[in-house]
Amino acid sequence: MLRARPLILLLTACAASAAQAGTLNLNGLSGGANVFTFGDFSSSGSDVEGALVAGGNVTLSGYSVNALDRDAYGNPGYALVAGGKLTLDSGSINNGLAYVGGKLTLSSAAQPPLSSTRPVDFAQAQAQYTSMSTALAKVGATGTAAAQWGGIKLAGSGKGGVDVFNVSSDLFAGSTWWQLQDLVPGETLVFNVAGKAGSFNNGNIGFQPLDGYNVLFNFYEATTVNVNSVIGSILAPLATVQGGSGVVHGNVIANAWAASTQIDADHTFKTVDIAGLDLGTPTVKGTSGTVPEPGSIALLLGGIVAAAVARRRRR
């Protein structure tokens, strides 16, 4: 009986691990695009350094796309995907294919090589990213973020890996500085941001203190997000992103984009396992079955343990 104990402990640990962690991957259906919207994308006098993928109409003026050759959906892949019309008045689409589902109108701009294949199902992507945002918002906080004397006091768990913070949308809107403590350089910081109207920079806060971290702002309730400059990726599946001058350093996944803010390809979000993240039961691509739920895995392993114990008793 005693000899079976290591097996029991090992399988119990495996079951607990399977039940407690989910993988947060922003680049699945987005294909690694620098910016991905389910609906329209419109901007002028700016650029996105990587690929631009939008399910609706894309309207650009004085705009550059994918100058850094960060294609979506493979390499060579797509520099731009427009599910609807594409209108480009002065600018360039660089280093990749373009898919245009509607009318193509170019003025003072060269035509990129075109593909007739749309690389993504936007309805599926919208459902997946909305579900992801909701699930992420349910993960328990491991750190605290609070307003203090006009700034933000950010305190992590001190353990590294991943720290999750639950904040309100007005925290970033009105703050001017940061105080960081108990954070490990390079760790992942997830901000679950509550509120219908998200905002950055109204208090002229700089995000340089977050430069050394893998950062995601999850606007799981917002229908609008006003953004100027920020270091970190943005997940806002219900929101139209608005803004003026400035730079977003990271990925953007949103319902729509109507801003002149520049989008840079640095600080893109790195895939990470997050304890307590339940993304449901994904279908295994290429099969008719599904990945077993954590509870099913636990029951299966429990059966293995019981069988092992029974065999030990018969000896």
Q: How far apart are the first and last CA of the chain?
A: 10
Are residues 102 and 114 both part of a single domain?
A: yes
Which residues form the domain of 142?
Answer: 124-270
148 and 69 in one domain?
Answer: no
What is the pLDDT at residue 44? 97
Residue reference for tokens 């245009």? 100
260 shares a domain with 131: yes
Return the number of other C-beta atoms located less than 10 Å from residue 271's C-beta. 12
> What pLDDT sits at residue 298?
43
Number of domains in the chain: 3
φ/ψ of residue 295, rounded to 5: -65, -35
Q: Is residue 31 part of a domain?
A: no
Q: How far apart are CA 26 and CA 271, in angstroms?
A: 7
Predicted local distance difference test score (pLDDT) of residue 31: 97
**Does residue 17 sit in the same domain as residue 140?**
no
Residue-level pLDDT at 141: 98
Q: Is residue 13 part of a domain?
A: yes
Q: What is the pLDDT of residue 200?
A: 83
Q: Are residues 181 and 99 in the same domain?
A: no
Determine how many CB atoms are found less than 10 A away from the CB of residue 75: 12
| Residues 296 and 161 reside in one and the same domain | no
- Residue pair 215/233 in contact by the 8 Å Cβ criterion: yes
Please say which residue of 120, 139, 155 terminates a domain: 120
Residue 150 in any domain: the answer is: yes
* DSSP states along 185-203: TT-EEEEEEESSEEE--TT
pTM: 0.84
Q: 180 and 308 in one domain?
A: no
Number of Cβ atoms within 10 Å of the Cβ of 65 = 27
- Report helix, strand or coil for 298: helix
CA of 40: how far to CAs of 52, 179, 253, in Å? 11, 37, 12
Q: CB–CB of 207/175 below 8 Å?
A: no
Question: Tell me, what DSSP letter sits at residue 69?
Answer: -
> pLDDT at position 175, please?
81
Q: Are residues 219 and 140 in the same domain?
A: yes
Do 138 and 246 have their domain in common? yes
In a domain, 183, yes or no: yes
In a domain, 32, yes or no: no
Residue count of the chain, please give it: 315
One domain, residues 265 and 130:
yes
Between CA 185 and CA 41 the distance in angstroms is 34
pLDDT less than 70: residues of the chain: 1-19, 201-204, 281-315
pLDDT in tens, 187-199: 999 999 999 999 8
| Within-domain flag for 215 | yes
Choosing from 120, 141, 176, the residue where a domain stops is 120
Do 103 and 164 belong together in one domain? no
Predicted confidence at residue 282, as pLDDT, reads 52
Same domain (yes/no): 143, 251: yes
